[in-house]
Amino acid sequence: MRAPSLADRIDAVLPQTQCTRCGYADCRAYAEAVAAGLAGINQCPPGGAEGVARLAAITARPAAPLNPAHGIEGPRRIAWVDEAWCIGCTLCIEACPVDAIVGAPKRMHGILADGCTGCELCLPPCPMDCIQMLPLGDPALATQTGWNAWNAELAQQARQRYAAHRKRLERRRHNRPDGLPTTDMATPNGPAKTAVPLPPADAPPREPHAAAAPSSDLIAAALERARRRQAQRKN
């Protein structure tokens, strides 16, 4: 059995959120870049200051504050899909690097909270702007940051889910003549779930909508709502 390489040792202490905020495709790519001297040890916001200290110890480089160009250290959050506005486009499912979103085309999507790493990669592709990042349900962890809100067990779980995600996409590419991944998916415990989990107790109230409204009216209303929310964020 070969001894772990420097990249292996670096990768082993990364939180494995696969958020890409470091500027690389995934945690492993960042680890290899750090090992090769191509990236700084202060480019991982999810790891926070503790993560920088761990990388400094492994690489013998001096610790440095997080590079703000890659983000800041902040509380870990979990994605939540507003079922009232989800149109089942599946774009978020393909964007999630750890397969923590379940659903099917034109069916409501839901988040597997235990698998969500808070990477936020599901936010940009959502055309309805119906995904929100909410605080952790545990009050003791809701304000914690970096490795204080994360642990080795969660990192290993995320690593395994990401590996399974990559294998799934590769398998689907081989099964399709156009080489593109399919959007139907299965969870580790069985086929894809279509039931949407209940929102957390501290979730913001949903805007009222007409349950009997035609789908085209619902989509138009959702688009208008998304435009308003985007305008508010810019202001």
Q: What are phi and psi of 187, to 5 degrees?
A: -85, 165
Q: What is the pLDDT of residues 174-230, one digit of tens each?
A: 776 555 544 444 444 444 433 334 444 444 444 433 333 334 555 555 556 656 665
Architecture of domain 6-70: Orthogonal Bundle (1.10)
Q: Where are the alpha helices (DSSP H) in the chain?
A: 6-12, 27-35, 48-59, 91-95, 139-142, 152-175, 215-234
| Record: fold of 77-145+179-203+210-234 | Alpha-Beta Plaits (3.30.70)
CATH 3.30.70.20 maps onto the chain at: 77-145+179-203+210-234
Q: What is the pLDDT of residues 100-152, one digit of tens each?
A: 999 999 989 999 999 999 999 999 999 999 999 999 999 989 999 999 999 99
Q: What is the pLDDT of residues 148-157, one digit of tens each?
A: 999 999 999 9
Please enumerate in sequence order all residues whose Cβ is within 8 A of that of 31, keeping only pairs 6 or more positions apart, or say none. Answer: 7, 8, 10, 11, 14
Task: Name the pTM for this structure.
Answer: 0.74
User: Any idea what DSSP says for residue 203?
Assistant: P
The whole-number pLDDT of residue 196 equals: 37
